[in-house]
Amino acid sequence: MNSSRKPVKILTCGNTFVSGEHGIFIKKDQDKKQVVKQLAKAIVVFEKDISKEKIDAFMLKDFVDESLFITDALHSVGYNSFNVDSNMVLALEKEWHTFDDYLAALKTKYRVKAKKAFKLSSHLRIEEVTTASLKELLPEMNSLYKSVSNKASFNLGHFNIETYLSLKESLKENYVIKAYWLEDKLAGFLSGMITDKNLDAHFVGIDYTVNKTYAIYQRMLYDYILLAIENNIETINFGRTAGEIKSSVGAVPQNLTIYLRHKKSIPNRILSLFLKKIQPTEFRLIKPFKEKKYKNVSSFSQ
């Protein structure tokens, strides 16, 4: 943000750097609507009595459509709801035991596309990044990450790449980082977090000057799928942005609703008008599978 402007400080319930419902867990025997409303009130109390920061607004994110009959209770306590780009989700089939099984499920056009991406990316050297090698790679990774994040139409903040160190040390093999080398130059990296039967595709970095020539990003998407198959994952959360290319590997859009409220009533009314103008980025949805019954993604409302 321009240094001449006062930054807006937002207290967020949810994970700023991962798409999806990661902020609230409600037990089955609880009144979920009431819990959500009480949470909204508790956030205000926290800001007034506990937080040392001067907060301007409060946000709860990201809720799937199945949860809205619960979370829309936030409207009664002054929150405005809006949608940004959809989260792209791939539900893996149980019969995909190898990557070849996944390829066999694709229509011919997209199977050919996948094989072409592997051929173009065969010039790359792909290596697992370890805790030991991570420190040395961080400056280059940060540069590649920024080249991607700066293209995003919606960003809640910039991820501190040095966080990879603590993530890797804490989660070990459940946090995966792969480096993509073109000769001795780092041309890209991917990162992902494995939780139970889910894989969250975290941040990537790409050298766009060589991306198309070596199909770097396309290869990363297939590598996420390969990683998921190897680890018996049921769902890949690919995150927002690049909806068309993610749909070309089988991901489908999942609407996510965000609730935002300014602390003061008049700015909150102005905010409401502004949020009504926000629209998700439109993209061409591709259906690459021969036959596919897409699974519902569960939420805390079910």
3-state DSSP call for residue 258?
strand
Query: Any idea where the domains of the chain sit in the sequence?
Result: 10-85+255-275, 93-233
Q: What is the pLDDT of residue 174?
A: 95
In angstroms and rounded to an integer, the radius of gyration of the C-alpha atoms of the chain is 21
- For each of the chain's 302 residues, which pLDDT tens digit applies? 444 567 778 888 888 888 888 888 888 888 888 888 888 888 877 777 766 778 899 999 989 889 999 899 999 889 999 988 889 999 999 999 999 999 999 999 999 999 999 999 999 999 999 999 999 999 999 999 999 888 766 666 778 889 999 999 999 999 999 999 999 999 999 999 999 899 999 999 999 999 999 999 999 999 999 999 999 999 999 998 889 999 999 999 999 999 999 989 999 999 999 998 888 888 999 999 997 654 444 444 33
Query: How much is the pLDDT for 302?
Result: 34
Among candidate residues 254, 246, 241, the one with its CA nearest the CA of residue 62: 254
Report pLDDT digits (tens) over 124-163: 999 999 999 999 999 999 999 999 888 766 666 778 889 9
Q: What is the pLDDT of residue 126?
A: 97
* Plot region of 248 (φ>0 → left; ψ -120 to 50 → alpha; else → beta): alpha
Looking at domain 93-233, which of 3.30.1300.10, 3.40.50.10540, 3.40.50.1400, 3.40.630.30 is its CATH number?
3.40.630.30
Measuring CA to CA, how many Å separate 286 from each of 203, 245, 246?
A: 23, 8, 9
CA-to-CA dists, residue 250 to 89, 92, 184, 276, 291, angstroms: 8, 9, 33, 30, 11
pLDDT given at position 299: 46
Cα gap 62→84, rounded to integer Å: 10
CB 248 within 8 A of CB 66: no
